[in-house]
Structure 1
Amino acid sequence: MIVERPDIEAAARRVAPHIRHTPVLRLAAGEAGGLGLDHPVTLKLDSLQVTGSFKPRGAFNRMLAAAPAPEAGVIAASGGNHGAAVAHAARALGLRAEIFVPEATPAAKRALIEQHGARLVAAGRDYEAAFEACRARAAETGALLVHAYDQEEVVAGAGTLARELEADAPELTHVLVAVGGGGLLGGVLAWYADSGVEVIAVEPGNCPTLTVAMLAGRPQPAPVGGIAADSLGARRIGRIAFALAGRRLARGVVVADSAIAEAQRRLWRACRIAAEPGGATALAALVSGAWTPPEGARVGVVVCGANADPGEVAAPPG
């Protein structure tokens, strides 16, 4: 169950009419000082993607690869961003959508899902409970299940982000990416395989799915909590991402919630980029010093989500 570059190329052809080729922002050393960094950095702004996160890449690829969809339409479980992406993609393709979310999903993300025309169902305390309810409903209705992170088509779709990044910033030597269930990590690892680019996985200490799996030697239940739980709060790493990480990951690092919040604030103050906690998690590794680039490194950071209240992003600490 390994996704490869040809899978991502095929995904790019499918999804191109439906997604944005999002920009990169290159900050020279002087400009990066506003982020608290003393070296240049390149930001991949998939926070500017349709629905405010990278998720439509995988949602569209899954639906288009499975076409024609069943009469019952599509179904998904989500902490928020994936649900909005599935709802958007379904409406664009003329399909019905039903989205299951945890009861703690923020109101703004619920509203975004409903805004795109999906039927919203709140089920359970966390993503895993919502997914179990979703899976039971899919068996009942026959709807096409669009997994948030652990389907080949979803991972390949996420990999189109890395394909764009390589085209726009071929000079990069290191790429930092946030980890939840691992769909984005898996796609980035698949694209950069054997390229010489080192991929650094960054996860919140309160949602350490990758760390727990690596220590156990297989995906295992991990704690779920903290400020990034609504987007990175999978209970366990996906099988696809875990397999790819075992072969191709350069390093994984863990960051505190305080570092994530500080990365959010610095992105807003220095660049006027509004990122949700999950979207700022990769940058938090640099801001906090959890990962220090080697001399001469040319570093790229994926800003993967923007579904946050700008007033909260800009709020002072504590």
Structure 2
Amino acid sequence: MANADIALPDTSHTASRDLPHGSLHIVTPLLRSTSYSARLGRPVWFKMEALQPPGSFKARGIGHACRTYKERGAKHLVCSSGGNAGIAVAYSGRLLGVPVTVVVPESTSAAARERIALEGAELVVHGRAWSEANDYALSLVKPDHAFVHPFDDPLLWEGHATMIDEVAAAGVKPGAVVLSVGGGGLLCGVLAGLHRNGWGDVPVIAAETVGAACYAASLAAGVPVDLPAVTSIATSLGARRPCDQAMAWSRRHPIVSQVVSDKAAVGASLRFLAEHRIVVEPACGAALAALEQAPAVAPPASDVLVIVCGGVGATVEQLQAWDRAS
């Protein structure tokens, strides 16, 4: 990949990543972006979770959860999802040899639905919003099934934390971390990773889009808040309420909320495509847009780490159409 340097983690001490005994995710590149660093006047590092086999960071925590549930005796995996979590569960189930049912709402993109089906899972479309799909998915769970929540599960957070382990192994301590927040699974995982690496002083910029900013509303209220509806095009941020653990972290770690417009998120996704030739959906673009607003919580010359969480819910043509319409 042009326009970037790469930092390599020391993985000599880790177990094999190969199935059946390794994890279901890969060690992703940590790239120092030449263009972003020059434009923003500080070193900018991208943790390239968009390169995970299912297309997003979800492979880490969900893969860990699926393997754990199988080891505990689960014969079938059930998941509710706006898209990316369902793809990760379907992918994990296929590699583990466990049948999977994924329930998605009507708002889930055709691209995400196709990927879920391609992985061999049973796909069910139910409800207009993720909350309705989630309720229906829960009704399908039988005694020998395991329900894989898309963001609210300690197993997920434990798995997601490994991305910070890899950053630490590469010898890069950021002055701040920028990431997107939906229900809070990525946030909880990154914070767990920061703390287990002794980086409890590193602030986190939590990015959301207007119309999906349940975490910003909750931080302002001091308690979890339910949005009346999700109106953002960033459907992967479509949780109406953050998980309780995301709120608990806000009381013990420096977290700054940053809300950007759909237009800014789409524009940031297109800029990332132009400069690094990788397509990410607007949910990921929210973090990239927040980065462009120069996070003030980090010292001016400090390294900034951005979790490029990925997502397969958008194509180049869709990004361009959204950009023209906004």
Give the TM-score category using the shorter length: 0.7 to 0.9
% identical equivalent positions:
35
> AA paired with 2:91?
H
1:88 aligns with 2:91: yes
Closer, same or farther: CA 262–38 of 1 in aligned 2, 3 Å: farther
Structure 2 equivalent of residue 24 of structure 1: 30
Deviations 1:47-69 (A, max 9, x none): 00111001111112112223335
Paired residue for 2:68, among 65, 76, 79? 65
Structure 1 equivalent of residue 226 of structure 2: 221
Structure 2 equivalent of residue 161 of structure 1: 163
Q: Is the 8 A contact 1:155 1:183 kept in 2?
A: yes
Measured in 2, the distance between the counterparts of 1:160 and 1:226 equals 29
Describe how 1:248-259 pairs up with structure 2 within 5 A: 248-259=253-264
Deviations 1:242-294 (A, max 9, x none): 21232113311111111101111110111212111112211111224576753
Measured in 2, the distance between the counterparts of 1:289 and 1:200 equals 10
Measured in 2, the distance between the counterparts of 1:303 and 1:178 equals 9
> AA paired with 1:144?
A
Deviations 1:174-233 (A, max 9, x none): 11010000000001111112513222111112111111222232222124121212x111
Q: Is the 8 A contact 1:77 1:130 kept in 2?
A: yes
> AA paired with 1:303?
V
1:212 aligns with 2:214: no
> AA paired with 1:22?
T
Structure 2 equivalent of residue 6 of structure 1: none
- Structure 1: gaps spanning 5 or more residues: 1-8
> AA paired with 1:152?
P
Structure 2 equivalent of residue 305 of structure 1: 310
Q: Secondary structure at the match of 1:211?
A: helix
Q: Secondary structure at the match of 2:140?
A: helix
Measured in 1, the distance between the counterparts of 2:139 and 2:320 equals 40
Q: Is the 8 A contact 1:15 1:61 kept in 2?
A: no
1:120 aligns with 2:123: yes
Describe how 1:224-303 pairs up with structure 2 within 5 A: 224-229=230-235, 231-288=236-293, 293-303=298-308
Closer, same or farther: CA 291–126 of 1 in aligned 2, 3 Å: farther
Q: Is the 8 A contact 1:15 1:57 kept in 2?
A: no
Question: Would you say how many aligned residue pairs link Structure 1 and Structure 2?
Answer: 304
1:109 aligns with 2:137: no
The TM-score, its normalising length taken from structure 1, stands at 0.88
Q: Secondary structure at the match of 1:74?
A: strand
Deviation at 1:113, TM superposition (A): 0.4
Deviation at 1:142, TM superposition (A): 4.0
| Bigger helix share | 1
- Structure 2: gaps spanning 5 or more residues: 1-13
